[in-house]
Chains A and B, each alone.
Chain A
Amino acid sequence: MPFIAELLIAILLIISGVFGFVGSYGLIKLKDPMQRLHAPTKATTLGIGGVLIASMIYFVAKTGHISVHELIITLFLFLTAPITANFIAKAYMARNLKRTDLPGSGTNYGWSVYSDPPERESSN
């Protein structure tokens, strides 16, 4: 394997290690659950991204074939991380926050955690 590839892989792995660590540290350091939610959804994305890019470079340098599994993992990560964060946030709001703790929505309907959606015009 050429030296430049090894160097790149090493740098990427170190970057991802640092961000993964910061994300985990944020979980301990921040105060309430909503703040803690920020740490794993962000800092960890780059952490995992670094490992995946390192893995792609490794397989190109080692075997000469491009591996695209890493791209699929990235795609799944982008699809699942926001949904997980959204569900945790909703569960937290429903159990620990009151309607009055939050700013208003500026429309006739409240936030969907507390209010029912408008009636559908046609039921099917």
Chain B
Amino acid sequence: MLRRLIPHPLLSLTLILFWLALVNTLTLGHLILGVLFGIGIPMITAPYWPDRPIIRAPLKVAEYFLIVLWDIVVANVQVAMIILFRRNEDIRTQWIPVPLDLKSAEAITVLAGTITMTPGTVSATLAADGSCVLVHCLHTDDPDAVRDEIKSRYESRLKEIFQ
């Protein structure tokens, strides 16, 4: 019964918190409205997510989020330095294919988003079978090091979270 009412607890919780953040006040009325949304929307949209991701380690999510946040700050400074102080001829731009061990679509989406937000890299496209991501690197002398860093710093953590 509870499973039928709340088929996707994580989505429900997200929707409730999101509604409260959107109205920017914490009152009983809005909490009830948020709970209604949290129950109603997952029920209506259930056919669109046949396989939902299972998050195995919630604490790891927080750790991952903080690491990415820190890397974004570092990335901003690094890219700003490259833009301001490097002559265009000295910028060595490279394409780097990064083979993936992740299988679930959600995990790959998070990884691709992370790559785009962090130091000098943009994820451009996936291999057609989703087993490799093509990364465009603004400036690097050592493409292998970039690839290894993505795999060890982000992918290994995502693997613990999603698998």
Q: Which residues of A contact B (CB under 8 A)?
A: 19, 22, 25-26, 29-32, 34-35, 37-39, 41-43, 45-46, 49, 67-69, 71-72, 78-79, 81-83, 85-86, 89-90, 93, 102-113, 115-118
Inside 8 A of A39's CB, which chain B residues have their CB?
Answer: 79, 83
Looking at the complex, which one of A85, A108, A116 makes contact with B116 (CB distance below 8 Å)? A85
The main secondary structure of chain A at its interface with chain B is: helix
B134, chain A: closest CB distance, angstroms: 6
> Are B84 and A22 interface neighbours, CB within 8 A?
yes
Inside 8 A of B120's CB, which chain A residues have their CB?
Answer: 38, 42
B72: interface (CB < 8 Å): yes
A62, chain B: closest CB distance, angstroms: 14
Inside 8 A of A115's CB, which chain B residues have their CB?
Answer: 127-128
Inside 8 A of A34's CB, which chain B residues have their CB?
Answer: 93, 122, 124, 136
Inside 8 A of B163's CB, which chain A residues have their CB?
Answer: none
A69, chain B: closest CB distance, angstroms: 6
Inside 8 A of A26's CB, which chain B residues have their CB?
Answer: 79, 83
> Are B80 and A104 interface neighbours, CB within 8 A?
no
Inside 8 A of B136's CB, which chain A residues have their CB?
Answer: 34, 37-38, 89
| Inter-chain contact total with CB atoms closer than 8 Å | 140
| CB within 8 Å of A: which B68-97 residues | 72-73, 75-76, 79-80, 83-84, 88, 91, 93, 95-97
Docked complex Cα distance between A85 and B79 (Å): 16
Inside 8 A of A38's CB, which chain B residues have their CB?
Answer: 79, 120, 122, 136, 138
> Are B128 and A110 interface neighbours, CB within 8 A?
yes
Task: State whether A43 and B128 are in contact (beta carbons under 8 Å apart), knowing that A82-B117, A89-B122, A105-B134 are contacts in the complex.
Answer: no
Inside 8 A of A112's CB, which chain B residues have their CB?
Answer: 125-128
Number of interface residues of B (CB under 8 A): 39
Inside 8 A of B72's CB, which chain A residues have their CB?
Answer: 42, 45-46, 49
Inside 8 A of A78's CB, which chain B residues have their CB?
Answer: 113, 117
A75, chain B: closest CB distance, angstroms: 9
Task: State whether A102 and B134 are in contact (beta carbons under 8 Å apart), knowing that A30-B88, A115-B128 are contacts in the complex.
Answer: yes
The 24 listed contacts between A and B (C-beta, < 8 Å) are A25-B84, A26-B79, A30-B91, A34-B124, A34-B136, A42-B72, A42-B75, A42-B79, A42-B117, A42-B120, A45-B72, A49-B72, A72-B22, A81-B117, A82-B116, A82-B123, A86-B125, A89-B124, A90-B124, A103-B134, A105-B97, A109-B129, A112-B127, A117-B129
Inside 8 A of A89's CB, which chain B residues have their CB?
Answer: 122-125, 136
Looking at the complex, which one of B83, B99, B115, B116 makes contact with A25 (CB distance below 8 Å)? B83
B153, chain A: closest CB distance, angstroms: 17
Task: State whether A111 and B83 are in contact (beta carbons under 8 Å apart), knowing that A41-B116, A106-B97 are contacts in the complex.
Answer: no
